[in-house]
């Protein structure tokens, strides 16, 4: 019961803030221009700063585990490939890119670290998980959303070049790389700087959620339920059932195994919706995956945690 209450307390506020975005749009406090502006600010400033602050003070030399980072990277890549293969079951090509991203991209850096800290009191090894998967999340998201853009046919050199440019200039990737580099250097930022970046970083989640709620199109969502349902199933159940046994077989236990579970089975990240909107996609499938996976993750994660605890693995 305690695990369930914790999961509900961690996930339901995300849903409530999204619904406030819907309400604020209905009563005229947020319009389309304001919501789009919030999306751009979160994508270019708040989210990169948030990721930087989470990584910049981690002592990676002390906790480094090459095999663990490679494992997180490898199963993330395999998840992307499986999601791409599954996307071809949908005749509507415009939903494929968002379906792929909604299936594999977790909210590991937002909700996930909270779960780890609640159980173990700290999330140091969770930072290694983030290093193995979050940069790849963003690189693959840029590639998928660029190469599977609505109205595009095939892959040509121009679109591939644009996708690679998108990776190099992606502010979220830069936030991760700079945070890791700063953590490796080991220089502590002045307290006033950490507080300032902390304030800005904490804007990412609430602003992104409000903007998503304000831009959520329920009519379009009703027309695109199949990719939303399948994407949510793969996000919360499919990839976890596929890869957690491999993590157990390789000997990962405790915080490391919990971090893998969070990486595979936590809700789809708000950042996926923000990136989809900023890269020319409608955003309906992305928003649907975030809403549905957020609602259901309190139940599914509780079940996964109970199973692993019952087996004495975490």
Give the pLDDT confidence of 244-282 residue by residue, as tens digits.
999 999 999 988 998 899 899 988 887 788 888 888 788
- Tokens standing for 153? 């046919």
Q: Work out the percent of the chain whose per-residue pLDDT is above 90.
A: 30
Per-residue model confidence (pLDDT) at position 266: 86
Per-residue model confidence (pLDDT) at position 87: 94
Tell me: pLDDT of 193 over 80.
yes
Segment 293-300 shows an average pLDDT of: 83
* Domains defined along the chain, listed by start: 2-310 (1.20.1530.20)
CA distance 19 to 158: 39
- Tokens standing for 73? 């990277």
Least confident of 30-44, 105-119, 281-295: 105-119
Tell me: pLDDT of 58 over 60.
yes
- Does residue 170 sit in helix, strand or coil? coil
Task: Give the other-Cβ count within 10 Å of 294's Cβ.
Answer: 25
Tell me: pLDDT of 309 over 90.
no
Please say whether the beta carbons of 285 and 225 come within 8 A: no
Per-residue model confidence (pLDDT) at position 91: 87
| Three-class DSSP labels, 252-296 | CCHHHHHHHHHHHHCCECHHHHHHHHHCCCCCHHHHHHHHHHHHH
CA distance 127 to 104: 18
Per-residue model confidence (pLDDT) at position 278: 81
- How far is C-alpha 267 from the chain's CA centre? 7
CA distance 163 to 155: 11
- Does residue 158 sit in helix, strand or coil? helix
CA distance 275 to 101: 10
Query: Most confidently modeled of 63-77, 149-163, 261-275, 277-291?
Result: 63-77
pLDDT tier for residue 6 given thresholds of 50, 70 and 90: low
Q: Work out the percent of the chain whose per-residue pLDDT is above 70.
A: 87
Segment 279-292 shows an average pLDDT of: 87
Per-residue model confidence (pLDDT) at position 234: 96
pLDDT tier for residue 76 given thresholds of 50, 70 and 90: very high
Please say whether the beta carbons of 133 and 272 come within 8 A: no
Q: What is the mean pLDDT of the chain?
A: 84
Strand partners, 106: 268
Residue 107: φ, ψ to 5°: -90, 50
Task: Give the other-Cβ count within 10 Å of 206's Cβ.
Answer: 18
- Tokens standing for 245? 């046994």
Please say whether the beta carbons of 297 and 267 come within 8 A: yes
Tell me: pLDDT of 114 over 70.
no
Query: Most confidently modeled of 116-120, 121-125, 161-165, 219-223?
Result: 161-165
Q: How far is CA 287 from CA 2, 24, 227, 236, 295, in A?
A: 29, 17, 12, 15, 12
Segment 130-145 shows an average pLDDT of: 86
């Amino acid at each position: 019961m305690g695990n369930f209450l914790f999961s509900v307390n961690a996930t339901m506020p995300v849903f409530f803030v999204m619904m406030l975005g819907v309400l604020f749009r209905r009563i005229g406090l947020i319009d389309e221009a304001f919501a789009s502006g919030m999306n751009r600010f979160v994508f270019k400033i708040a989210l990169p700063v948030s990721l930087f602050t989470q990584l910049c003070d981690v002592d990676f030399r002390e906790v480094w585990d090459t095999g663990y980072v490679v494992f997180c990277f490898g199963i993330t890549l395999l998840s992307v490939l499986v999601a791409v293969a599954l996307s071809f079951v949908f005749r509507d090509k415009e939903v494929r890119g968002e379906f792929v991203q909604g299936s594999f991209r977790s909210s590991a850096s937002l909700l996930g670290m909270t779960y780890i800290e609640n159980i173990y009191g700290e999330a140091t090894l969770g930072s290694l998980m983030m290093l193995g998967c979050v940069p790849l999340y963003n690189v693959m998201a840029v590639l998928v959303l660029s190469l599977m853009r609505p109205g595009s046919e095939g892959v040509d050199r121009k679109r591939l070049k644009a996708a690679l440019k998108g990776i190099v200039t992606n502010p979220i990737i830069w936030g991760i790389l700079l945070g890791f580099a700063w953590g490796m250097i080991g220089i502590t930022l002045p307290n006033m700087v950490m507080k300032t970046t902390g304030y800005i970083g904490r804007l990412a989640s609430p602003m992104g959620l409000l903007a998503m709620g304000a831009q959520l199109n329920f009519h379009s969502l009703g027309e695109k339920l199949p990719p939303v349902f399948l994407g949510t199933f793969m996000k919360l159940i499919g990839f976890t059932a596929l890869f957690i046994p491999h993590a157990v077989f390789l000997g990962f236990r405790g915080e490391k195994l919990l971090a893998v579970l969070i990486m595979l089975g936590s809700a789809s990240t708000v950042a996926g919706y923000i990136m989809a909107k900023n890269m020319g996609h409608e955003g309906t499938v992305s928003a649907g995956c975030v809403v549905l996976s957020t609602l259901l993750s309190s139940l599914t994660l509780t079940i996964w945690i109970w199973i692993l605890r019952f087996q004495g693995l975490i």
